[in-house]
Structure 1
Amino acid sequence: MLTNQRQLHYDRQIATWLLLCAAVIFGMIILGGVTRLTGSGLSMVEWKPLMGIIPPLSEEAWLATFEKYRQFPEYQKVNRGMDLAGFKSIFMYEYLHRVLGRLIGVLYFVPMVYFAMKGRVRAGLMPRLWILFFMGGFQGLLGWYMVKSGLVDDPRVSQYRLTAHLGVAVAIYGYMLWLAFGLLFPGGKGTHRFANLAMWVAVLVYLMILSGGLVAGTRAGYAYSTWPLMGTSFIPPGLYEMSPAWLAAFEDITTIQFNHRIFAYFLFVLVHVFALLSWRKGLGPRGTVAMLLLLAALWLQVVLGISTLLLHVPVWLAASHQGGAVLLLTAGVYCAHVLRRQGG
């Protein structure tokens, strides 16, 4: 039977491994955004879970791979006339994205088995680690399901599938952080009275990210490059004019961008109210740090979001905006954990 001190040591090892996996997933999310923004996501028209890790290694192999790409709508309707050098450029983004996904699988599975066989996983944690593993496998399948939607007549992936793909990636990331924080900070001071509100803030940040997935999937971010107005008015014409009206929230670019902005305003106000109420009731040193990190991440994300709009969605800035959203979620999850387990 493990002593308490030894189990805490093993907990820190597992937490460090989970945080490393989360950091790589963070990079994966950024790379996924760059892949989408550079129009590279449909360059690999086949899914080979095992052999797909080997790229074309000869000029003949590259020409054969390029010829397969030329049979699909993206080349025929968007990139007609692209040469082999141009194809190699977009291919490598998608290739690296897929290889990194496989690397994450190995980086997660092998240590998990090692820790389990050595008896270092505390009671009750193993089922949660398996949940993360199966979520990762599902994410791989979902990624190909998303790509397939763009290999038909319309050379764009479905915004629904893209949002689901992003949502599962971020859910894996957030859950992994929560488990790691639980191992590093097992608690002891009770629950803060605003712990439930902190959880809701984290959930709303997650929903905000899904809203951003719809913006990305429909390219709604290009529709209005003005702020705080959308064009010449705060409330643009044409909102919810689709039939049925609710469908506009998912398919009309004006409505999608407007909803994303309004969601951002609501979240901005909510986080500041939450911070003020929490400070008045007392937070303690760790709670204060968590709240400051949350506010800093929020302001950074606001600046990145507005800049992305005004500069008409440059790749580097849009990718930073996506990364900023994940940083905001990180701060939200940490703040929720502190108030739930370490609150005053």
Structure 2
Amino acid sequence: MRPAESPRREGAVRTWLYLLAALVVAMVAVGGATRLTGSGLSITEWRPVTGVVPPLSAADWATEFEKYRDTPQYRILNQGLGLSDFKVLYFWEWGHRLLGRIVGLVFFLPLIAFWWRGMLSRRLGLGLLTLGILGSAQGAIGWIMVASGLQPGMTAVAPIKLALHLTMASLILAGLVWLAAGERSAGVAPAAPRLRAVALALPALVLAQIFLGGLVAGSHAGLVHNTWPTMDGALIPPAETLFSVRPWIENFVDNVTLVQLNHRLTAYLLLAVALAHAVDARVAAPGSSVARRATGVAGLALAQAGLGIATLLMAVPLWAALAHQVLAMAVLVMATVHARLSRGLVRAPRASGPAVAAFGFEALAGRGA
């Protein structure tokens, strides 16, 4: 590879990674709409290949509708639902699954081309291989989640499985952004150790908050205690309310009061850490890129907290819930970029060709960049 070609190749890889990240955010948004419209159980089978084609004839639609009418959700919640309304539910879920297939193609086809042309460093190749494995597992987790809602007596998916599905998508998004931020052409000096440590902790805090948000969504905990800053008059509800479920460990998933409280408390912690980090960075390194990035993370975290409060007070309207979910992804993206660049950036050598060793085995042996 000629030196003049390096920035163009690095730019192509970085653009591809950010495109993938945007597709993942779109998939999270459509997934949120699918959940909020109650569409997630409208497709009762997992057909990775043939499922790409929706029903095309009246007979096909009748068959799919009959399968749905045999689900607990239909019998308990949607008895009497017409075919036209079923089609709306179906297309939300079908669109979500189609986006998953598109993400897979946009990931693997360029990956093969970039690898074959020697455009991936050893470490980048190993990171992409890991993300490919996580992405493949995400499809299986999604079906396990849907299957949990098809069990007798269930009208929605299990909250813990919804939270895991959302968190896995967020982890994949963070991985893509981390790798993309590492593809900058110019080197970046590391931040001071204290600032670097907090910057690295922020994405982990955001992921924990997203997981707790998934529990809130899955258990519909946002539909209770629609007051703030108190929870119907109490800053912290009494212990007998927080731990009323037996065994006690299940309260963290099934007790909507405790689920909502945990989400609130983690939001306060995340916001406090982000604001303190921004102030620290602006004092310790005024005018630096570290200070600007830290301020950006704090600003997004503050906006997300405000939107979360508004969503709660309005009893979770569809538009606000979707905006809250998408803004959470923006906070995660900004925090991940900040964490990656705060570590410093040293340009990694490119693989010289399509050798399998360059793509994985040498990196595993510790010879990666």
CA distance in 2 between partners of 1:233 and 1:185 (Å) = 52
Distance 1:184 1:261, change over 3 A: same
Q: Find the counterpart in structure 1 of residue 253 from structure 2.
A: 250
Paired letter, 2:147: K
The answer on 1:43 being equivalent to 2:42 is: yes
Paired letter, 2:176: M
- SS of alignment partner, residue 226 of structure 2: coil
- SS of alignment partner, residue 183 of structure 1: coil
Displacement of 1:284 in angstroms is 4.4
Matching of residues 254-333 of structure 1 within 5 Å: 254-282=257-285, 284-333=287-336
Q: Find the counterpart in structure 2 of residue 69 from structure 1.
A: 68
Paired letter, 1:8: P
Paired letter, 2:270: L
Distance 1:15 1:242, change over 3 A: same
More moved, 231-240 vs 160-169? 231-240
Is the contact between residue 158 and residue 217 of structure 1 (CA under 8 Å) also seen in structure 2? yes
**Runs of at least 5 residues in structure 2 that lack an aligned partner in the other structure:** 346-369
Paired letter, 1:75: Y
Q: Find the counterpart in structure 2 of residue 221 from structure 1.
A: 222
Distance 1:185 1:338, change over 3 A: farther
- SS of alignment partner, residue 54 of structure 2: coil
CA distance in 2 between partners of 1:150 and 1:313 (Å) = 22
CA distance in 2 between partners of 1:165 and 1:70 (Å) = 25
- SS of alignment partner, residue 122 of structure 2: coil
Is the contact between residue 290 and residue 338 of structure 1 (CA under 8 Å) also seen in structure 2? no
Is the contact between residue 286 and residue 338 of structure 1 (CA under 8 Å) also seen in structure 2? no
Is the contact between residue 201 and residue 271 of structure 1 (CA under 8 Å) also seen in structure 2? yes
Displacement of 1:186 in angstroms is 5.3
Displacement of 1:287 in angstroms is 1.9
The answer on 1:128 being equivalent to 2:133 is: no
Matching of residues 19-30 of structure 1 within 5 Å: 19-30=18-29
- SS of alignment partner, residue 100 of structure 2: helix
Paired letter, 2:34: T
Q: Find the counterpart in structure 1 of residue 192 from structure 2.
A: 192
State the TM-score, normalized to the length of structure 1. 0.95
Is the contact between residue 301 and residue 321 of structure 1 (CA under 8 Å) also seen in structure 2? yes
Distance 1:19 1:114, change over 3 A: same
CA distance in 2 between partners of 1:248 and 1:234 (Å) = 18
CA distance in 2 between partners of 1:29 and 1:124 (Å) = 27
CA distance in 1 between partners of 2:340 and 2:119 (Å) = 23
Number of residue pairs matched by the alignment: 341
CA distance in 2 between partners of 1:190 and 1:5 (Å) = 26
Residues 248-277 of structure 1 deviation map (CA, whole Å, 9 limit, x = unaligned): 122211000011111111111111111111
Is the contact between residue 68 and residue 74 of structure 2 (CA under 8 Å) also seen in structure 1? yes
More moved, 254-263 vs 153-162? 153-162
Matching of residues 162-181 of structure 1 within 5 Å: 162-181=162-181
CA distance in 2 between partners of 1:240 and 1:305 (Å) = 24
Matching of residues 94-113 of structure 1 within 5 Å: 94-113=93-112
Displacement of 1:175 in angstroms is 0.5
Q: Find the counterpart in structure 2 of residue 152 from structure 1.
A: 151
Aligned-pair identity in percent equals 36
State the TM-score, normalized to the length of structure 2. 0.89
